[in-house]
Amino acid sequence: MLAVKISDVSKVYGEKKVVDGVSFEVDSGEIFALIGPNGAGKTTTIRMMMDIIKPDSGDILIMGQHLGEGSKNCIGYLPEERGLYRKLRIMDTIVYMASLKGAPVETAVARAENLLKKFGLYEHRYKKIEELSKGMGQLIQFVVTVAHDPGLIILDEPFAGLDPVNSRLLKDTIKDLRAEGKAIILSTHRMNEVQEMCDRLFMINKGQRVLYGALNDIRRQFRSNSVVVESEQALPSLSGVSGVESKNHTSILKLDGSTTPQSVLAQLVAAQVPVERFEVSLPSLDDIFVQVVKKP
Ligand SMILES: Nc1ncnc2c1ncn2[C@@H]1O[C@H](COP(=O)(O)OP(=O)(O)OP(=O)(O)O)[C@@H](O)[C@H]1O
What interface predicted TM-score (ipTM) does this complex get?
0.97
- Inter-residue contact 40 to 205 (CB < 8 Å): yes
Half-sphere CA count of 183, side-chain side, radius 13 A: 20
Query: Is the beta carbon of 187 within 6 A of some atom in ligand 1?
Result: no
pLDDT at 152: 96
CA 20/CA 43 separation, integer angstroms: 14
Residue type, 239: S
What are the Cα distances from residue 169, in Å, to 110, 127, 164, 165, 248?
19, 21, 9, 6, 33
Query: Is the beta carbon of 188 within 6 A of some atom in ligand 1?
Result: no
pLDDT at 1: 84
Query: Is the beta carbon of 79 within 6 A of some atom in ligand 1?
Result: no
CA 202/CA 9 separation, integer angstroms: 14
pLDDT at 132: 84
Query: Is the beta carbon of 43 within 6 A of some atom in ligand 1?
Result: yes
pLDDT at 48: 95
Pocket probe mutation, ligand 1, options 35, 42, 44, max atoms within 8 Å of Cβ: 44
- Inter-residue contact 92 to 169 (CB < 8 Å): no
CA 171/CA 151 separation, integer angstroms: 18
Residues of the chain with CATH 3.40.50.300: 2-219
Mean pLDDT, contiguous 10-residue spans, the chain (296 residues) = 95 94 97 96 94 94 88 87 78 87 86 92 86 87 92 94 93 96 96 94 96 94 89 92 91 90 94 93 88 83
Q: Which CATH class is domain 2-219?
A: alpha beta
Ligand 1 centroid–CA 35 distance in Å is 13
Ligand 1 centroid–CA 295 distance in Å is 21
Q: Specify the pairing of strand 57-62 against strand 65-66.
A: antiparallel
Which of 201, 212, 210 shows the shortest CA–CA distance to 31? 201
The alpha carbon dihedral of 149, 152, 158, 159 has a sign of positive
CB atoms within 10 A of CB 86: 12
Ligand 1 centroid–CA 170 distance in Å is 27
Pocket probe mutation, ligand 1, options 11, 13, 19, 186, max atoms within 8 Å of Cβ: 13
Query: Is the beta carbon of 13 within 6 A of some atom in ligand 1?
Result: yes
